[in-house]
Structure 1
Amino acid sequence: MLKTMKPSALPRNGFKQNKPESNIATIDVGGQLFQTTKQTLNLAGPDSLLSRIADAASAHLAPPFIDRDPELFSILLSLLRTGNLPSKAKALDLQDLIFESQFYGIETLLINSLSNPSHFDAFNLEKSLVLPLNGRDSPSVIATTPFGSVHVAHGSKITSFDWSLRKKSTILTEFTAVDSMLAISTKVAAAGATDFSGLQIIDLENGFVKETLNWENVTRSGSTVQAIGSSQEFLFASFESGRRNSNSIMIYDLNTLSPVNEIGHYEIFGAEINSALPATKLNWVPGYNLLMASGSHRGPSGVYGNIKFWDIRSGNVVWEIQEKVDCFSDVTVSDNLSAMFKIGVNSGEMFFADLRNLGVEQPWVCLGDRRKMVSGKKEGVGCKIESHGSQVFCSKGGDLELWSEVAVGSQQRSEDGSEARHFRKNVMGRMKDMGGSRITNLTFGGNKMFMTRKDQQYVEVWQNSARGY
């Protein structure tokens, strides 16, 4: 007699019931089991060890065994889950985390986490370490990458440190001293000097010149580099002829280094030198798609200069400021604040100009006490000013001021009818106690601030944590 099975007892496919494949992946690291999702492991990237484990993981197989430190793995797994390192990572050595991340193939995630600019808290910076340099020459210029690696020129040498600030290499250049430098990548830099012809593209790992970019005026004389800048697409170089009677700004494709355009070519004759100064500082302003080029000159009647904003596509100047009264000792521009800032060479005071009011004849607004030059002393000589995010940093001697924009309760109006803006000098945090000899370089990379001081053979690194992560 044929026995009939109940419908509920029959397999759904009529033959065999399969369990759905689990999304959970179990890994045995050094004898300790970890469970996570395959999606989390795949965040490590297709070429990583963890992604391959995710592809091979199965509930029917024994957990894969990795003979590594489980404590370090738990830190990196937390990095995958949240995008940030947990606070307990501070108890571990950074080098151990780096080596472990390289083993699993997730060093890029670690770099992005530790170099995240959003983790930069300007009000609570503290000096975390110093980067020693070979030889007796003080640093002349610093160039950083967005990941926090840094190249330091000192004398005729360039010393490079990777993103974890381990020393990678020191190379000897053809320059007597490097005056301008820009980091094209972690391995390549553009460098120039005011007494050596040409802009050199240097391989910093192997110590050789990949290419030399030159500019010649109508007399075919050599030219020296006065400043270097860049955008995401272009490399900018300010050249001056060896006879100092002509200058220009060349624009190169950042990837191919082929020339794209030339702007601001001046052949100088006699008294025209006042209006045709070479640019000694180049700042790209991405929000306006403009290049700010500034330069100054000390003459018998004092210091004078100019600031020009160039449309690099058309080659036209869209705004120019002639500096004759309290000319800038240093100047910078902030895209976040949509403003330009300078330190007056005579007064030593901070000034700002609102970029939203391009074309104003007298754009500068004094943010200080409007002190006047006393006994002919130039208070602003040697001051440095740089913007980072929504703050502006100004060095005066061995001290550093931090300026921020503050909101006011009511919308006040300035004399020209535009909305008044207010900036305040802050003395919060540890920076007020920094002291020391005069600051000679000030720059930023990732979530770090780098500075050098007169007659010192090292670079100071300032961060929000003494361990940097």
Structure 2
Amino acid sequence: MPPFPASHPNGFQLPKPDSNIVTIDVGGQLFQTTKQTLNSPCPKSFFSRIADSVSASQQLTIPFIDRDPELFSIFLSLLRKGTLPSKAKAFDLQDLISESHFYGIENLLMNSLSSPTLFEPFHLEKSFILPLNGRDSPSAIATTRYGSLHVAHGSKITSFDWSLRRKATILTDFSVVDCLYAISPSVAAAGANDTSGLQIIDLENGIVRDTLNWENVTKSGSTVQAIGSSEEYLFASFESARRNSNSIMVYDLHRLSPITEVGHNEIFGADIDSAIPAIKFKWVSSYNLLMAAGSHGGPSGVSGYIRLWDVRSGNVVWEMSENIDCFADVTVSDNLSAIFKVGVNSGETFYVDLRNLSSESSWICLGARRKVLNGKKEGNGCKIESHASQVFCSKGGDMELWSEVIMGSRKNSEGRLEERTFKKNLMGRVKDMGSPRITALAFRGDKMFLTRKDQQYVEVWQSSAREP
């Protein structure tokens, strides 16, 4: 209900002693709500204490809170609906954060602000940048489910809290951090291509909690090539220091104890496919499968593979060799139920429908279907990631956004789903694009994070240009 001015109390009646309705005076304005609403955030919040005190006093008096009533109305709406009302955009974010500390509902505010439902892909603009300390450019970025961000740059890792206003930097044992995965806002898994072991780092205290190693046959030490996770597992791609063996290790995400090993290869002779470790992971939750992809460049071009692993059985359920136009980058969209890649030679975006997978599946081009010209690597360095129901593909310093045009699911004479239709959109304003090449993409909630070659900051894109 809307607030009632304290200067006009006439006609405003206190609820009966056994009523579920609670009346509160905030900064001279009266609000009414229910005990269930006040108890919704957590049992130890300021609101729950109000509900308890009212229960004890049977609402014989109106509790007074000497705070801003307009901000209180924002949080009361948040308690009722679980989301912020549209009028919250008129307030400075720092004011909301500071007030949420007082009421003890920062987590509720954090989850609301980082909700994917606020993501507006067709209206993303570069809103602000997050500067990094030092001269090193970002080598990896990772987001957490709570909206916080970890950035590896050189031997350092800088962490930004969920509001992106507070940051802290630690120095690692690596010369350069090549792989980074956010286990939580305060813990990250990190690895490097030239240093053995997967380190589990306490980012708040700057210490290594544990180092996970893979013992290969030659006992030569093993470097980390990729890191990923599901709700249950942490995945790490290892390659021996002599590059004669590789493996995918599966750990319990919470206890960090080893569970199983999949994709173990010992290299003998000229077995090129076995010699390629996985360099990218993506968990496909709706299919309960792990996508692992690896590629290698040589005199004859770039070749590689994409595999879908059943982690529990340790079996590959689907595999595609990449030879003609190997991926420059590859991703999976759960929402779109498809694998997407950008070809290293053509620079085109392709997809494979997960609902139609078979040993005969082939890539379907989304672009102009250009031929590969003279072996030029038009897609070299391009990045592709999925978020919500869209696919984002970088082309140099520009960004393409692909979304599906819903035409209805139709099947051909063989009972297979027909080719789907996707539409391309160029993102951002002119002043946002054409900058140095994009080197990494990450998403969380309503924001997109990207880094660029030789730049010492992270760009934050969101639907509103308002700074955090």
Instruction: State the match for 2:26 in structure 1.
Output: 29
Change (3 A) 1:268 1:44: same
**In the TM superposition, what is the alpha-carbon distance from 1:269 to its structure 2 partner?**
1.4
**In the TM superposition, what is the alpha-carbon distance from 1:149 to its structure 2 partner?**
0.6
Instruction: State the match for 1:285 in structure 2.
Output: 284
Measure, in 1, the Cα distance between the counterparts of 2:194 and 2:145: 29
Measure, in 1, the Cα distance between the counterparts of 2:229 and 2:330: 17
Instruction: State the match for 2:239 in structure 1.
Output: 240
**In the TM superposition, what is the alpha-carbon distance from 1:82 to its structure 2 partner?**
2.5
Cα deviation digits, residues 365-402 of structure 1 (max 9, x gap): 11111222334321010000001111100000011101
Are the equivalent residues in 2 in contact too, given 1:151–1:161 (CA < 8 A)?
yes
Cα deviation digits, residues 65-106 of structure 1 (max 9, x gap): 222222222221121122222233223221221121111111
Instruction: State the match for 1:9 in structure 2.
Output: none
Are the equivalent residues in 2 in contact too, given 1:404–1:424 (CA < 8 A)?
yes
Instruction: State the match for 2:39 in structure 1.
Output: 42
Determine which structure has more spread, i.e. the larger CA radius of gyration. Answer: 1
Instruction: State the match for 2:163 in structure 1.
Output: 164
Measure, in 2, the Cα distance between the counterparts of 1:359 and 1:176: 43
Change (3 A) 1:241 1:92: same
1:127-146 matched pairs, under 5 angstroms = 127-146=126-145
Residue 270 of structure 2: SS of its match in structure 1?
A: helix
One-letter amino acid of the counterpart of residue 367, structure 1: L
Measure, in 1, the Cα distance between the counterparts of 2:467 and 2:418: 40
Are the equivalent residues in 2 in contact too, given 1:126–1:431 (CA < 8 A)?
no
Are the equivalent residues in 2 in contact too, given 1:400–1:432 (CA < 8 A)?
no
1:213-228 matched pairs, under 5 angstroms = 213-228=212-227
Instruction: State the match for 1:152 in structure 2.
Output: 151
One-letter amino acid of the counterpart of residue 207, structure 1: G
Change (3 A) 1:160 1:428: closer
Instruction: State the match for 1:296 in structure 2.
Output: 295
**In the TM superposition, what is the alpha-carbon distance from 1:270 to its structure 2 partner?**
2.1
Q: Percent identity?
A: 73
Residue 272 of structure 1: SS of its match in structure 2?
A: coil
Moved more, 352-361 or 155-164: 352-361
Change (3 A) 1:399 1:175: same
Residue 77 of structure 2: SS of its match in structure 1?
A: helix
TM-score, normalised with respect to structure 2: 0.92
Change (3 A) 1:136 1:288: same
Measure, in 2, the Cα distance between the counterparts of 1:103 and 1:169: 23
Are the equivalent residues in 2 in contact too, given 1:159–1:167 (CA < 8 A)?
no
Are the equivalent residues in 2 in contact too, given 1:215–1:222 (CA < 8 A)?
yes
Instruction: State the match for 1:260 in structure 2.
Output: 259
Change (3 A) 1:356 1:468: farther
Measure, in 2, the Cα distance between the counterparts of 1:271 and 1:70: 72
Q: Which residues of structure 2 form unaligned runs of 5+?
A: 1-14
Are the equivalent residues in 2 in contact too, given 1:399–1:432 (CA < 8 A)?
no
Measure, in 1, the Cα distance between the counterparts of 2:430 and 2:145: 23
Measure, in 1, the Cα distance between the counterparts of 2:291 and 2:276: 14
Cα deviation digits, residues 122-175 of structure 1 (max 9, x gap): 111111211000001000100001221100000000000011102331000011
Match status 1:204 vs 2:215: no
1:384-403 matched pairs, under 5 angstroms = 384-403=383-402
Instruction: State the match for 1:190 in structure 2.
Output: 189
**In the TM superposition, what is the alpha-carbon distance from 1:330 to its structure 2 partner?**
0.6
Are the equivalent residues in 1 in contact too, given 2:356–2:416 (CA < 8 A)?
no
1:338-353 matched pairs, under 5 angstroms = 338-353=337-352
Are the equivalent residues in 2 in contact too, given 1:158–1:172 (CA < 8 A)?
yes
Q: Which residues of structure 1 form unaligned runs of 5+?
A: 1-17
Superposition RMSD on alpha carbons, in Å? 2.0
1:53-92 matched pairs, under 5 angstroms = 53-57=50-54, 58=57, 60-92=59-91
Moved more, 246-255 or 442-451: 442-451
Change (3 A) 1:410 1:98: closer
**In the TM superposition, what is the alpha-carbon distance from 1:414 to its structure 2 partner?**
8.9
**In the TM superposition, what is the alpha-carbon distance from 1:24 to its structure 2 partner?**
2.2
Measure, in 2, the Cα distance between the counterparts of 1:428 and 1:303: 29
Instruction: State the match for 2:465 in structure 1.
Output: 466
One-letter amino acid of the counterpart of residue 39, structure 2: N
Change (3 A) 1:172 1:192: same
Are the equivalent residues in 2 in contact too, given 1:125–1:431 (CA < 8 A)?
no
One-letter amino acid of the counterpart of residue 192, structure 2: A
Moved more, 179-188 or 415-424: 415-424
Moved more, 264-273 or 408-417: 408-417
Change (3 A) 1:431 1:261: farther
Are the equivalent residues in 2 in contact too, given 1:124–1:431 (CA < 8 A)?
no
One-letter amino acid of the counterpart of residue 33, structure 2: T
1:374-393 matched pairs, under 5 angstroms = 374-393=373-392
Cα deviation digits, residues 444-466 of structure 1 (max 9, x gap): 11221000011110000111122
Cα deviation digits, residues 284-305 of structure 1 (max 9, x gap): 1111111111010011111100
Residue 272 of structure 2: SS of its match in structure 1?
A: helix
Are the equivalent residues in 1 in contact too, given 2:124–2:427 (CA < 8 A)?
no
Are the equivalent residues in 1 in contact too, given 2:410–2:417 (CA < 8 A)?
no
Measure, in 2, the Cα distance between the counterparts of 1:160 and 1:410: 44
TM-score, normalised with respect to structure 1: 0.92
One-letter amino acid of the counterpart of residue 38, structure 1: K
Are the equivalent residues in 2 in contact too, given 1:275–1:306 (CA < 8 A)?
no
Measure, in 1, the Cα distance between the counterparts of 2:345 and 2:130: 34
Cα deviation digits, residues 298-325 of structure 1 (max 9, x gap): 1111110011111111111111111110
Change (3 A) 1:62 1:166: same
